[in-house]
Structure 1
Amino acid sequence: MSGVYEPFGEGWTQAAEFGIALVLSGAIGLEREIRQKAAGLRTYTVVGLGAALFTLISKYGFTDVLRSGLVQVDPSRMAAQIVSGLGFIGAGVIFVQRGSVRGLTTAATIWLTAAIGSAAAAGLPVLALLATGAYFLLAYGLRPLAHRLPQLGSVPATYRITYRAGMGLLRELLAEVTRGGFTIVELSTLSSSSRELEPTHQATAEVSLSVLGRGDQDTLTTRLANISGVLACSRSSQPDE
């Protein structure tokens, strides 16, 4: 595109590189939006475009100063600050709650999106495309593989159980978890009230059980829900995102 009219040293070349960054970062953002993650389409697109813009400024900017030949500029200096500048965004999506860390994958994906935007703006569209393709391969390829190989490691999960209070059910719940091949790593009482969940007006309690083991989580969910006196039982796998 060097023969294309580009006033002030900018034109279709920069627009094309900026457009590639827009499309690739938007594709990653759309995938995260569909999965309803903490950061979605707008966040990833803005990160990719911002990284691309800083890279373009670093690469093509300051031409009026450089024409004199008296000033030398390292074009990688501004681009290098993109990585450190992303720190505050990554910190904003990482949460530590009850000993579990959440948001690491989101932070890492934001970091990767910035790198893809920088690569596109630096004139490396093939590398940017390969990185985007590699991301989707990891996002959709590793998850099914992990579910097919449960024997290779323990999968953490958290159960939220609401049950009738005063019936000694907590001990039975813990015993059922142990029989299912799981170890309880954390137990916390979420609430205890006498609100009218059933016509009997009986008091209820709610607990959260964080478990770790190689048993079948779906089977354990069913067994816990079938215990007499249990009103509700829900499970959520430990997220890495």
Structure 2
Amino acid sequence: MFWTTGLAGQLGVVVPLAIALVLSTAVGIERELAAKSAGLRTHALVGVGSAAFMLVSKYGFDDLLGLEHISLDPSRVAAQIVSGIGFIGGGLIFVRRDAVRGLTTAATVWGVAAVGMACGAGLPLLGLAGVAAHYLVTRGFRPLARVLARSSSAPRPVHVIYADKQGVLRQVLTSATERGFAVAGMTVDREGTDDGTAAVTLSLLGRIPLHPLTSELAEIPGVRGVRLPEEEEPAD
């Protein structure tokens, strides 16, 4: 393309790349503020890279189109971007104590790739709408998710780290039942704890908020930490 259009002709290609950078950075800022490992730099690079691939697919082979028996299908590059981002997203998802972590961040990386592709394809308004949808889902849907969790009859996990062999777990169970919760199950996990401590994940049944219970559990002598699932998710 450089040899056919020159440097001046390529300046127009930089504009969609810059738009992709701005929009993907907007998504990355939200992830960075949420303390996720795939944060500002990761999302910005994914968005810019996706846009660059789309631009190369659209304009990088213009000098070959005049040759006989040569044809191009720009959509093939788009398909490869989608499958390639899938490998990155798969690396962000892992299972710990039978709980899946990292799904939301994997989805945001996938989404920011789509934003970059839209900018590279010359559809900046579509990219802007994608960023707006990201903020709506990740920020605006949180209250709705809490309401749905409270109305669900499925057990809700609470992770507690406590001093072992001091009767702390008994007090934790007593507090949970006094709050109106039923203990549907319990998984003890000593992995990753310091000497003299243990970790347990309680599966609690009850349609009342969990946060008052976690505050109460945290005040029990010997309790080192209490986490809910959304707080427990690592920088994903």
TM range (shorter): 0.7 to 0.9
Aligned-partner SS, 2:141: helix
Deviations 1:131-176 (A, max 9, x none): 111111112211123335554225734332324625x443343233
* 1:236 and 2:235 are equivalent in the alignment: no
Q: How do 1:14-33 and structure 2 match up within 5 A?
A: 14-33=13-32
**Aligned 8 A contact 1:10 1:60 in 2:** no
Shift of 1:208: 1.9
The CA distance in 1 between the partners of 2:37 and 2:149, in whole Å, is 27
SS of alignment partner, residue 14 of structure 1: helix
1:206 to 198, 203, 208: 198
What pairs with 1:1-241 in structure 2 (closer than 5 Å)? 7=6, 10-148=9-147, 150-153=149-152, 156-163=156-163, 165-166=165-166, 168-180=167-179, 181-190=181-190, 193=195, 204-213=196-205, 214-227=207-220, 230-239=221-230
Instruction: Report the CA distance shift for 1:81/1:10 in structure 2 as closer, same or farther (over 3 A).
Output: farther
Q: Is the 8 A contact 2:150 2:209 kept in 1?
A: no
Residue 131 and residue 189 in structure 1: after superposition, are their counterparts in 2 closer, same or farther (change >3 A)?
A: closer
Q: CA deviation at 1:233?
A: 4.5
Query: 2:168·2:223 contact (CA, 8 Å) conserved in 1?
Result: no
| Ranges of 4+ aligned residues in structure 1 off by more than 4 Å | none
CA distance in 2, matches of 1:30, 1:115: 17
**Amino acid corresponding to residue 212 of structure 1 in structure 2:** L
Flag structure 1 segments of 5+ consecutive residues without an equivalent.
1-5, 194-203
Contact 1:24–1:116 (CA<8 Å) still a contact in 2? yes
8 Å CA contact 2:176–2:213 kept in 1: the answer is yes
Which residues of structure 2 form unaligned runs of 5+? none
Is residue 218–residue 226 contact of structure 2 (8 Å, CA) maintained in 1? no
Relative to structure 1, the CA distance from residue 155 to residue 74 in structure 2 (aligned partners, 3 Å threshold; closer, same or farther) is same
Q: Distance in 2 between matches of 1:25 and 1:86?
A: 14
- Cα 1:10–1:182 change in 2 (3 A) is farther
Query: Could you tell me how far apart the structure 2 residues matched to 1:34 and 1:93 are?
Result: 18
CA contact (8 A) 2:162 2:168 kept: no
1:165 and 1:69, CA in 2 relative to 1: closer, same or farther beyond 3 A?
same
* Residue correspondences, number: 223
CA-to-aligned-CA distance 1:49-88 (integer Å, 9 cap, x gap)? 1111110111111111112253111111111100111122
Q: How far off is 1:211 after superposition? A: 2.7
Match of 1:200 in 2: none
Q: TM-score, normalised by structure 1?
A: 0.81
Q: What is the root-mean-square deviation of aligned Cα atoms in Å?
A: 2.5
Aligned with 2:225: secondary structure? Answer: strand
Higher helix residue share:
2
Aligned partner of residue 222 in structure 2, secondary structure: strand
**Percent identity of equivalent pairs:** 41
Distance in 1 (CA, whole Å) between partners of 2:73 and 2:30 is 35
